[in-house]
Chain A
Amino acid sequence: MTLKRAVPARHVFAIYWRTWFAQIRAIVEYPADLWVMASAGAVWNILQFAFLAVLFANVPNVAGWDYHEMLMLSGLLSVAGGCNALFWDGAWSTGTMVIKGDIDYRITRPAPVIIQVGSSHIGMQSIGEVVFGAAMFVYGWIGAGIGFAAVPIGVLAIVCAALIQCALVTALCAVNFWIKGQASIFAFLLIELQGNAMKMPLGIFPSGVRIVAMFLVPVAFVNFVPVSVITGHMSAWWLAGIPAAVIGSVLLAVGVYRLGLRAYDSAGH
């Protein structure tokens, strides 16, 4: 069953925010969960900060990148992951919804399925991730001596990083339309390896890894490329690649999700 009728963009945004605020209301009903999850996000980022501080107490730079530049790299990655959890965490529920037949309800409603699923949950760890990730990014920014002139690029980098991250996670979660399972293992694999690798300068990895991260699964455009441009490690021309990566990732996510919905055959039939 597919809904062919086009839905106005304003209606889509209204649905998204209404659902999102409903999640916020649900979250505040369980303060213990809220604090545990927010603390988990905060502690994780504080330990990333500590990792870099300890590392740079022993080495002067990593492949030409200094402490503050690496903080920006880690900070932007955390903010992107945090935005995914804050604004689009429901994508992770795709696999569970497919198995339980929960997509049925969403197909019958007059709003895009992907919007309904994406806004169906908020990862509360995002509060810690976004706040402490932003703190790392700003601290690194100031420490690296980057002035106010580059702030618009920084804002663009944060928005694009969040969009690319959400889109890639959505595309990989949508694989669960075909490979059934509660856990979104491919998306989980992406964020695990991305979390480990992309807090490092891409230059330390073999060329095959660099090509994959730049052009096949463009995780490099989440944090590495924007931070490289801001800090002068890469030419400003690379900035053009960031919106291109956003468009490519979003189209990929929408395309895979649509194909997945066509393949969806509900549960138990």
Chain B
Amino acid sequence: MSHSIAVDRALVVIAFKRRLAYKSHWFFGLAIGGGSMLIAMVMWQNLIGSGTLSGYDWDSMRAYTIIGFVAATMVFGAADWTMADRILDGHVAVDLTKPVDFQRARAAEYIGSMLSTFPTAVMGVVAAWLLFDPPGPVSPLAGLLTVVSFAFMFPLAFGLTYLSTLVCFWTKRYLGIMWLREALLSFFSGLMIPLAFMPGWLQAVAWALPFPHFTTTPSAIYLGRVDTAGALGLLAAEAAWAVGLWVLGWLVFRSAVKRVTVHGG
């Protein structure tokens, strides 16, 4: 199968441009993400005040909430519906005839759509920085490792999303699957409430899943809640999940694709 880097790049660019064509998505993403961030800020300010909760003071919680906003904007704003719709409406049959690897092509498109969320994320972060003046990273190295953890979020988000869209081979709709994934991600990533607030057993459950790497990992590195060795360990776990989910996606697709019966074929 002749699937080259040039094909990946072309698919990334096409997906990126397709998303940029709908500029209302920027506003919409900013309104939802920014609104949710403001609500979280108000809640934590009210709860924490001048004290601390589970090791978070108001300063660190401001940074945590903004990191959560960036992660949510990137992950929830990507084009998972495009993937799911192609399976649901049968276009996947056409994709299977193309001389490109299905999973790799969807990954390129997904990453292109994730890149298109940058303007929303940047606008939101700038506005949040001006409004809330959060503390900077605990060290320049922590700042750099935080960026790396955000970069790992691309393959990780794809792995989760791809697996969930493959469920569409067995269902007629995608909405419920998306909600299920987003609900689990919101809770177990620490987006809804930091994992440090949870009892030990629930934290163990969360860390046994890939979700914490969407908010807890970058914020723990940024705020210095883990040392450099701990940060590198978290990044290694993130990379391992990215590889594991890719392999799992490949295995599930091999089984799922046998179910394709488009127009009785």
Contacts and interface: CB of A to CB of B under 8 A. Distances in A.
B176 A125 contact: yes
Given A32-B171, A63-B46, A58 B53 contact: yes
For this complex, into which size category does the number of interface residues on chain B fall? 20 to 34
Interface stretch (B108-116, B129-137, B195-203): B195-203
B180 A40 contact: yes
B46 A55 contact: no
Interface residues of A, number: 36
A173 to B, nearest CB: 15
A259 interface: no
Nearest to A47: B187
A196 to B, nearest CB: 5
Interface string A195-206: 011001000111
Contacts of B93: none
Given A54-B198, A55-B197, A39 B42 contact: no
A185 B28 contact: yes
Given A51-B187, A58-B53, A189-B32, A33 B176 contact: yes
B66 to A, nearest CB: 16
Given A47-B186, A185-B24, 17 more contacts: A33-B172, A36-B173, A38-B176, A43-B180, A44-B179, A44-B180, A47-B184, A47-B192, A54-B202, A55-B193, A55-B197, A58-B53, A192-B32, A192-B35, A193-B32, A196-B36, A206-B42
A160 to B, nearest CB: 24
A204 B183 contact: no
B4 to A, nearest CB: 34
Interface in B123-180: 167, 170-173, 175-177, 179-180
A62 B176 contact: no
Interface in A174-196: 181, 185, 188-189, 192-193, 196
Nearest to B167: A36
A59 interface: yes
13 contacts: A30-B171, A32-B171, A40-B177, A40-B183, A44-B179, A47-B192, A54-B198, A57-B197, A58-B54, A125-B179, A189-B31, A200-B39, A204-B43
Contact of B39 (A44, A59, A193): A193
B176 A39 contact: yes
B47 interface: yes
A144 interface: no
Interface of B: 24, 28, 31-32, 35-36, 39-40, 42-43, 46-47, 53-54, 167, 170-173, 175-177, 179-180, 183-184, 186-187, 192-193, 197-199, 202
A124 interface: yes
Most B CB within 10 A of own CB, among A38, A54, A181, A200: A54
Nearest to A31: B171
A256 interface: no
A57 B199 contact: yes
Most A CB within 10 A of own CB, among B42, B176, B193: B176
Contact of B173 (A37, A58, A193): A37
Closest 5 CB pairs of A and B: A37-B176, A40-B176, A40-B179, A40-B180, A36-B176
Contacts of A212: none
A44 B42 CA distance: 23
A62 B179 CA distance: 27
Contacts of A44: 179-180, 183
A47 B181 CA distance: 12
A146 interface: no
B193 A51 contact: yes
A22 interface: no
Nearest to A38: B176
Interface string A37-76: 1111101100100110011011100110000000000000
